[in-house]
Structure formats: structure tokens, C-alpha cells
Amino acid sequence: MTTLKIGTRASALAMTQSETVAAWLRADTGADVELVPISTEGDRNSGEVSDFGGEGVFVAALRDALIRGEIDIAVHSLKDLPTTPDPRLVIAAIPTRVDARDCLVARDGLTLGELPQGARIGTGSSRREAQLNALGLGVEVVPIRGNVDTRVGKVASGEYDGVILARAGLLRLGRADEATEVLDPLQMLPAPGQGALACECRADDDATIRLLDGLDDIDTRVAVAAERSLLATLEAGCSAPVGALAEVASGDDGDELWLRAMVGDRSGSPTIRLSATGLPSEATAVGERLAAEMLAEGADTLVAVASSTPGR
């Protein structure tokens, strides 16, 4: 049997995520699977993402290796994938999403509301920065890059009072108990696609597409389709503070799709927050419609300002 090669970033989190896909393939299909760590521009550069390439810096090297035939599958954090499709590639599976919410890891077990004014909160995300500032808690938002150990370590050392992380990452690493607060989406909407994985392969590789079919979760695919449709319609790159969360829920007349989104300024004001509902089969249209409503409220100006603002 030919060995399936799965390309992955080399971080502990990325390797853990990719191993879950490999384990499923071994158990469900009997495939022989090997992980292939690949270094990306986002891993090599410690600066702010928007300053050295922006969208796609964490996935481009994996996708190039996939196109060259050096790997058979690339496993990405879906939030890192550009919204513009590459016709040579296909997202063959989006596994069931892990908790999409953000969480706080703070000193002394504190929550956001318990941190004193002037507390230093680390994040490398303009989306998180905008929403933290919009809460009006008087905290100081400071930039941070690095893996989970690096970020949490800055809290343990006393350099920062807290950091904001994706809860999905802590869950996958078995470190969920380190979070001192899970943030309600009413306070902090996640990045579009956060908590979901994308298993990408070559569009002409029918055999691998068939192998991955059983790993696909339709509700997750529907939700992230709405979120990414909104992001694409807003024409917002990685430097724009855009949050979105879609969920499929049971309604009186069957399943419904509910999409919430925000576009803001890093300072916290102004912020546009809107929501929309629709049928799961219309996920892309729901995202486009909500984005159009946000654009009518001035989201295009906020996106333009964010795109022209240098990273800190």
C-alpha cells in the first residue's frame, strides 16, 4: 500500500491537529500515513503577519508542496486559508469543529472583568484588539507572536497579565484547564473558520478525495462556508479586524443557519455588529447578504483603514 503523506506545520499544535487526521485515516480506511513537517513563512518570521506577507503566510508552503506532489494532503487551520480558491486544489474534508471561542489565560486565575485597569493583555490579532478595546475595560493591548508555550510563558513570567488564545488550540493540546475564562461570542467573536481544520488535496486526486470523504462534517462545512463568504465579500485581509461565527441550529421548520459578525477599528470604535439567518443550503448567500449589510453600514471604510495601517 502506498504511504499517504500529510503535510503540516511543525508546531506542536499543528502536528497534534494533523495527527488526529492521520489517526482517523489509519483507523477508518486502513491507510498507511506519514506526517511531513513543513516550515512556512509565518513560522519563520516573528514580525506582525500583515507586515511580511499577510494572507496565506501559514499555508502557502504546504500548498506548494501539495501542488508539486511532495505530499498528498495538507492539513490547515481553516482560518489561515485564503478565501480565494485555487482551482488545482480542493478542501476534501472539514472535520467536526472544535470550540470556536477565544479564551483568556491570565495571572492568578483572573477573568477579564477582574483584571485591573492598565493590565497588559497580549494578542497578535487586530480582531481581538478591536473587541478588547470596545469592551472599555481599560486594559493595555500589547502585540505578541509565537506558539502556545511562548504566549502562556509570558503570563507565567509576569511580562503580561494575560493573553487571548483560541480555545480550540488548548483543547487539542490537552491544556484547556489553563484558560481562566472562556470568552462569550457576545464579547469576542472568533476569526472566520476558527476551531475548524481543512484537509486539502489536489483536485484531480480522486482516490484521496474518496478516502477523506468520511471525515467531512456537513454542519461544520456549512458554518464555515457562511463565515468565509462574508470575509470574501468584505474583501478583508488578515490585517482587518473581522470576526464571524455561524451555527446550525434546529428551528420550528427544520435546521436554520445563524451568522453573527463584526468589523471594527483597532481602537475599539467604531464597531459594526450585525447578524443574519437563513437556510443551511444557502450558507454562501447568507454570508454575502450579511457582508452587504455591513458594507452599507460603513464596513468598507474600516477594512480600508485596517489594510493601510502598519502593524505595531
Catalytic entry in 9, 120, 128, 172: 128
Q: Parallel, antiparallel, or unpaired: how do β-strands 120-122 and 89-93 relate?
A: unpaired
Residue 103: active-site member: no
Catalytic entry in 102, 161, 238, 260: 238
Residue 26: active-site member: no
Residue 145: active-site member: yes
Residues 6+ apart with CB under 8 A from 187: 112, 131, 135
Amino acid, single-letter form, for residue 270: P
Grid cell at residue 6 = 500529510
Catalytic entry in 9, 63, 72, 80: 80
Catalytic entry in 145, 175, 219, 300: 145
Instruction: Give the residue from 200, 196, 218 showing the smallest Cα distance to 209.
Output: 200
Catalytic entry in 63, 97, 101, 127: 127
* Percentages (nearest 5) of helix, strand, coil residues in the chain: 40, 25, 35
Residues 6+ apart with CB under 8 A from 260: 185, 189, 244, 245, 246, 273, 274, 275
Catalytic entry in 63, 120, 151, 167: 151
CA distances from residue 97 to 59, 169, 195, 199, 245 in whole angstroms, order as listed: 19, 12, 6, 13, 12
Grid cell at residue 119 = 493590565
Alpha carbons 216 and 66: distance in angstroms, whole number: 20
Residue 79: active-site member: yes
140-145: list long-range contacts, CB under 8 Å, 24+ apart. Answer: 143/48, 143/311, 143/312, 145/46, 145/47, 145/48
Task: Give ∠ CA 81-233-7 in degrees, rounded to 5.
Answer: 10
Residue 172: active-site member: no
Alpha carbons 96 and 193: distance in angstroms, whole number: 12
Residue 175: active-site member: no
Alpha carbons 311 and 47: distance in angstroms, whole number: 9
Cβ atoms of 233 and 291 closer than 8 Å: yes
127 alpha-carbon distance from chain centroid: 11
Catalytic entry in 79, 120, 228, 266: 79
Residue 199: active-site member: no
Active-site amino acid positions: 79-80, 127-128, 145, 151, 238
